[in-house]
Structure 1
Amino acid sequence: MKVAFVGKGGSGKTTCASLFALRAAATGAPVLALDADINQNLAVALGATEADAAGLPTLPAHLGLIKEWLRGDNPRIPSADQMIKTTPPGRGSRLLRVIEDNPVYDAAVREVVPGVRLGLAGAFEDADLGVACFHAKTGAVELLLNHLVDGPDEYVVVDMTAGADAFASGLFTRFDLTFLVCEPTRRSVGVYRQYAGYAREFGVRLAVVGNKVEDAADADYLASEVGDDLVGVLGRSAHVRAGDRGAPRDIAGLEAGHVAVLDDLRAAVDAVGKDWERYQADAVAMHRRNAAARGDGPAGSALAEQIDPDFVPGPAVVTL
């Protein structure tokens, strides 16, 4: 299953994403984590040292390789240069599995802690300031997810940009379930309402995780504001706080109540079920929007021709 964690800046979405990934990995589930936040903190949140995190490769740095590998021998894509972030897979494309050996993972994905592999969108560099949008970097994540086939009890966990900025690219459509991390405050609930409005427009499945909940009054406030979207609440964690100060982040030390909530989140994800036809249809719809934005000229027409109308990805296609 593919899951995203979004929320107001400072709400704790990176922490929640890391805990979800670590808990799933601790049960033996294959986990691929992707950091698509402008603040690239997921590696450290998972347990990597700051020095090790600084030395990790990024997906955009290997975008040419990624495009060439994913393109395969798809006849609708004459060259990798013609692929963009929304290019959907078709017959002849290479599809990735959550855990496998391939040139993309060899170049740009690393196991940062046992059981969790991580790919990074990468941080802003000096050359980007004033001239580039961060979504140019998250495009590599979007392209990868378009071609990634996950099976039962496999998890792709993505830490997204803060707030409704996640809707600035088609990346928000790539998930089976999106968790919005919400504090018991008016500002955080406001972000939830804005995100929920956009989510409804595009059919995005949304669930809320309450975070930094101190008491019953906090929990009641969230329940009254977000209703049935609320799937669990997390309070302050001494284990997480110690990890933020440099202590080991071994999930085995997490409080039992927090572990139970993480298991509830995983159950909510698993209950969604896979719908590969919808997944491909959403990718195609977003690609058509990009093609239309480039007009009726050669550029827009070439993008529209990349769509394979009869192709649906999924585990059965990978095993052919």
Structure 2
Amino acid sequence: MKIAFVGKGGSGKTTLSALFIRHLAATGRPVIAVDADINQHLGPALGLSDDQAARLPSLGAHLPEIKEYLRGSNPRIASAEAMIKTTPPGHGSRLLRIVEENPVYAACARPVALDEDSVRLLVTGTFTEEDLGVACYHSKVGAVELLLNHLVDGPDEYVVTDMTAGSDSFASGLFTRFDLTFLVAEPTRKGVSVYRQYKEYARDFGVRLKVVGNKVQGAEDLAFLRREVGEDLLAAFGHSEWVRRLEQGAEPALNALEPENRAVLERLRDQVDAAYDARDAHKYTQQAVHFHLRNAESWGNAKAGTDLATQVDPSFVLHAAPPSEAAASEVHDEAAARV
């Protein structure tokens, strides 16, 4: 399952996404955590020191190798240089699995040990000196969109992405790459305004959106969210001394999290698992193609010097069913020789 956490800056979306990642890992489920926020705080929220987080390899720095691996032997893609962030997979493309070893994970993913298990962490990376004044952040999160376009996942496998704040997520097709999106909202007018904006933008694309209230202090806060959000309100996370200790640099055990807040995380997991049964592989693939064609016409064709619409394989559908172990082994052996 592919899950996104979005919300207004300061709403607590990184904290809640990190808590959800910890909760999933504690149940023994495989998890890949992705920090796609312009402010890279997911690593520290998972317990890394600032120095450890700063040393994490970035997806953006390895984008040429990632493209070369993913294009595989797809005859519609002449070279890695011809790929853009929205290039969809086709026959011959290499697909990623959550539970596997491959050159992309070897270069970009790092294990993060938690108190009950561990997860793989991928980060988009921060601005470099060369980026300042000449690049937008969406050039970096494009690597995440490319990966999710090529990722096949099954039940009880999770990719949790901490997205950039506010409505910036809509600057690309990345917002359609998830089975479920959790919008973290404080019980304030500003908090719910982001919800309204996100829901309006996402309406035409069938994005499954659920609101998680955060910093909810009592019955009045909860009533406010219910009045403003309605049936999209899934759960409310209340005051937490556990979170306060974590933000102060302590490492409290997850089993010390308040029972009512742990129950919120379990409700989120139940909602995610239910969303898996409702996924539509054809629609998911069609949306990838839709945004690829839009990006190709807008800027991609000019940059690549060719018609990127020819990269679309009309007979390919990204199904959730994993490739056979034999096929996967063959792909990885070939990849190891190339990357």
TM tier, smaller: over 0.9
> Residues 292 and 246 of structure 1: is their aligned pair in 2 closer, same or farther, counting only changes over 3 Å?
same
Q: Distance in 2 between matches of 1:106 and 1:299?
A: 28
Equivalent residue, structure 2, for 1:318:
323
Residue number among 250, 253, 256 corresponding to 1:253 in the alignment: 256
**Are 1:195 and 2:198 an aligned pair?**
yes
Equivalent residue, structure 1, for 2:287:
282
Q: Give the aligned residue type for 1:72.
A: G
Give 3-state SS (helix, strand or coil) of 1:25's partner.
Answer: helix
Give 3-state SS (helix, strand or coil) of 1:200's partner.
Answer: helix
**Are 1:150 and 2:161 an aligned pair?**
no
Q: Give 5+ residue unaligned stretches, structure 2.
A: 328-339
Alpha carbons 2:211, 2:234 under 8 Å: kept: yes
Kindly provide the CA deviation profile for residues 188-234 of structure 1, in whole angstroms up to 9, marking residues without a partner as x. 11111011100102221111000000001101110110001000000
1:78-227 matches, cutoff 5 A: 78-113=78-113, 114-227=117-230
Alpha carbons 1:47, 1:249 under 8 Å: kept: no
Shift, 1:169, TM fit? 1.1
Shift, 1:33, TM fit? 0.6
Alpha carbons 1:32, 1:99 under 8 Å: kept: no
Shift, 1:146, TM fit? 0.6
Q: Distance in 2 between matches of 1:295 and 1:128?
A: 20
Q: Distance in 1 between matches of 2:253 and 2:91?
A: 42
Equivalent residue, structure 2, for 1:302:
307
Alpha carbons 2:14, 2:41 under 8 Å: kept: yes
Give 3-state SS (helix, strand or coil) of 1:239's partner.
Answer: helix
1:8-27 matches, cutoff 5 A: 8-27=8-27
The share of aligned pairs that are identical, in percent, is: 61
Q: Distance in 2 between matches of 1:33 and 1:145?
A: 12
Q: Distance in 2 between matches of 1:30 and 1:154?
A: 5
Alpha carbons 2:3, 2:180 under 8 Å: kept: yes
Shift, 1:295, TM fit? 8.4
What TM-score do the two structures reach when normalised by structure 1?
0.97
Give 3-state SS (helix, strand or coil) of 1:127's partner.
Answer: coil
Kindly provide the CA deviation profile for residues 45-88 of structure 1, in whole angstroms up to 9, marking residues without a partner as x. 01112121111111111111100110000000010110000001
Q: Distance in 1 between matches of 2:65 and 2:263?
A: 41
Q: Give 5+ residue unaligned stretches, structure 1.
A: none
> Residues 252 and 75 of structure 1: is their aligned pair in 2 closer, same or farther, counting only changes over 3 Å?
same
Equivalent residue, structure 1, for 2:333:
none
What TM-score do the two structures reach when normalised by structure 2?
0.91
Equivalent residue, structure 1, for 2:332:
none
After TM superposition, what 4+ stretches of structure 1 lie above 6 angstroms from structure 2? 295-298
Give 3-state SS (helix, strand or coil) of 1:210's partner.
Answer: strand
Give 3-state SS (helix, strand or coil) of 1:318's partner.
Answer: coil
Shift, 1:297, TM fit? 7.2
**Are 1:5 and 2:5 an aligned pair?**
yes
